[in-house]
A and B are shown apart, each in its own frame.
Chain A
Amino acid sequence: MRKLLLDKIHVEGIETYDVYRREGGYRSVEKALKMTPEEIVEEVKTSGLRGRGGAGFPTGLKWSFLAKPDGVPRHLLCNADESEPGTFKDRYLMEKNPHLLIEGMIASSFALGANASYIYIRGEYMFVLKIVEKAIAEAYANGWLGKNIQGSGYNLDLTITCGAGAYICGEETAMIESLEGNRGNPRIKPPFPAVEGLWQRPSVVNNVETIASVVPIINDGGAEYAKIGIGRSTGTKLISASGNINNPGVYEIDMNMTVEEFIYGDDFLGGIKNGKKLKACVPGGSSVPILPHYLVTKTAKGEDRLMSYESLADGGFESGSMLGSGGFIVYDEDQCIVRNTYNFTRFYHHESCGQCSPCREGTGWMEKVLHNIEIGKGSMEDIGLLWDIQKNIEGNTICPLGDAAAWPVAAAIRHFREEFEWHVQNPQLCLEKNYGLVAEKTFEVEPA
């Protein structure tokens, strides 16, 4: 399988400028500086690249929305605030191959006409910040950053800065607030960052993997990149895999591969640990709907499910999920879905910024109700109550954290209701053992 981002990850010393350059690094910048910014944006549009942070919005389109008023500086902001539970791909990329991100930042900044760009990394990744900062200094020393880059007349300053523990700063407007030295409270949109972003200036916010992907797109051309993958899921995707599997870690995949091969293939996750059965899977980070065992490798239509944006979402929220950030969490038959839902809800309650009542109050309420069910003190009405609360959060908040908190609860009740009911009906037993697999349900589907 072709690798574009992790192909050099095991080359010894690839984190240093000399080795990175010897391996062909910074070629995309040389090429980009000979192109016009518009040509680069076109290549990115042709590539079909979609935002790798979770939302999957087409990158070229996002770039084309950037306002360009005369005399106002604009900025490229790299979102390295990787905090979605289950996701650790950006850390891996920056830790092992920091120059790839810097190279992508330079080429992308040139395309957007930015002369000052910023990388915002989560505070807990301070050790990664140090690695990237060292690589930035090397890039300056070798004429890839600063004034008149490689004699082109183009100037770019690149700075890395950090957060200090706040999931919400992965939301782009909260990240901008934090970059300005404020609390990470998301802004009301519009205006969108493309018009009023950092310091009210037009800004583009892209994820680490998205920016790194611009390097092969410029090197090989957008059309070549678009040949990889399937449908609107072009190029390669980094997946961070965790949970009850034999080979956890970061994988670069062609999105045309099946979920079956990804979970059970020896070159990938190597199957469920200890020979256990698959119970459930969260394919795109904690926010996306959890899938019960029978909807993981097959869609409700009975087709093979692929590791693509479209196939993972097949069936909508009734029987599908989302590729999200690529945080792929696998659960074996011994895991408790009630406990897992409680755990995720506690996370969202902790991480709610507190601006919007539905999220601030609702996440705490759901946490309490779920905790009661988990410890055998819940009632049947609690399950209905949970459903109502999540419904009242979804869509009623300034930023998508509300949805992110609501979806896991909704999906858990939708697919695992019998397990919730069993908890309520067996208050003692549920403390001693777990429920096991839920029964397979059929869905009314349009004929394929």
Chain B
Amino acid sequence: MSAEAKNSIEFPKDLLKEVGRLTAQYPEGKQKSALLRILHIAQAHFGWLDVPVMDYVARLLHLQPIEVYEVATFYSMYDTKKPGKVKLEVCHTGPCAIEGTEKIITYIENKLNIKVGETTEDGIFTLKGVECLGACGYAPMLQAGHKYHEHLTEAKVDELIERYRKNPVANYMEY
């Protein structure tokens, strides 16, 4: 990566202010506690946690890069490989499974012509199977960005994919 590209990895002022607010919530010397939330912000802003992004977060928090890498690779919500712009994360654990999540997954696979774990050629959608998201009473369901979509039907999936295709917003949380 060129020096120029490396320098371009930087939060805008409003996000730096948010980072300041989050780190100030912990006692002096315990700023590492803000790491998980800051990684969420970094992922939302930069799209995914590429190595230079993690290095930048390490510098912000005065950590060794390895301290950020080991956290980023432990938690399933962080992407250390580039995903599509919109991640469709379908819950496939027990209660969702008995309410028909397999059918929904197959339907999305056929509709987008990808398998679970893959990204569409246009780079818009990534399909993932994820473990229990705490929406068992409203199954089947999927998470897209920060939003839960519950009581899924094929018609709902059609509508959802159409909507995200028109407006493929950042793949993660809104800040």
Interface residues of chain A, those whose CB is within 8 Å of chain B, are 73, 82-88, 91, 116, 122-127, 157, 159, 161-167, 178-184, 199, 240-244, 248-250, 282, 286, 327, 329, 331, 335, 339-340, 343-344, 347, 350-351, 353
User: In the bound complex, how far is the Cα of B136 from the Cα of A167, in angstroms?
Assistant: 15
Q: Which of B113-160 contact A (CB under 8 A)?
A: 130-139, 143, 146-148
Closest to A87 in B: B134
Q: Which of B98-116 contact A (CB under 8 A)?
A: 98-99
Whether A124 pairs with B133 at a CB distance below 8 angstroms is yes
Interface residues of chain B, those whose CB is within 8 Å of chain A, are 25-27, 30, 32-37, 39-40, 67, 70-71, 74-78, 92-95, 97-99, 130-139, 143, 146-148, 173
Whether B36 pairs with A329 at a CB distance below 8 angstroms is no
- CB contacts (< 8 Å) of A331 on chain B: these are 98
Question: Can you list 13 residue pairs at the A/B interface with Cβ under 8 Å?
Answer: A85-B132, A87-B136, A164-B75, A165-B78, A167-B131, A179-B33, A181-B71, A183-B74, A340-B94, A340-B97, A343-B93, A343-B94, A353-B74
The A/B interface has a contact count, at CB < 8 Å, of 141
Contacts A85-B93, A184-B75, A339-B97 given; 15 further ones with Cβ under 8 A? A85-B94, A88-B137, A123-B77, A159-B26, A162-B37, A164-B36, A165-B130, A166-B75, A181-B32, A183-B70, A199-B27, A242-B139, A248-B136, A286-B94, A343-B97
What 3 pairs across the A-B complex have the smallest Cβ distances?
A164-B75, A181-B32, A165-B76
User: In the bound complex, how far is the Cα of B148 from the Cα of A122, in angstroms?
Assistant: 14
Q: Distance in Å from the Cβ of A404 to the closest Cβ of chain B?
A: 13
If A127-B146, A343-B97 touch, whether A82 touches B75 (CB-CB below 8 Å) is no
Whether B94 pairs with A83 at a CB distance below 8 angstroms is no
Whether B136 pairs with A164 at a CB distance below 8 angstroms is no
User: In the bound complex, how far is the Cα of B148 from the Cα of A14, in angstroms?
Assistant: 22
- CB contacts (< 8 Å) of B40 on chain A: these are 123, 126, 162, 164
If A240-B136, A347-B131 touch, whether A180 touches B94 (CB-CB below 8 Å) is no
Whether B78 pairs with A180 at a CB distance below 8 angstroms is no
8 Å CB contact of B95 from A85, A91, A127? A85
User: In the bound complex, how far is the Cα of B95 from the Cα of A335, in angstroms?
Assistant: 11
Q: Distance in Å from the Cβ of B129 to the closest Cβ of chain A?
A: 10
Whether A124 pairs with B37 at a CB distance below 8 angstroms is no
- CB contacts (< 8 Å) of B75 on chain A: these are 123, 163-166, 184
Q: Distance in Å from the Cβ of A381 to the closest Cβ of chain B?
A: 27
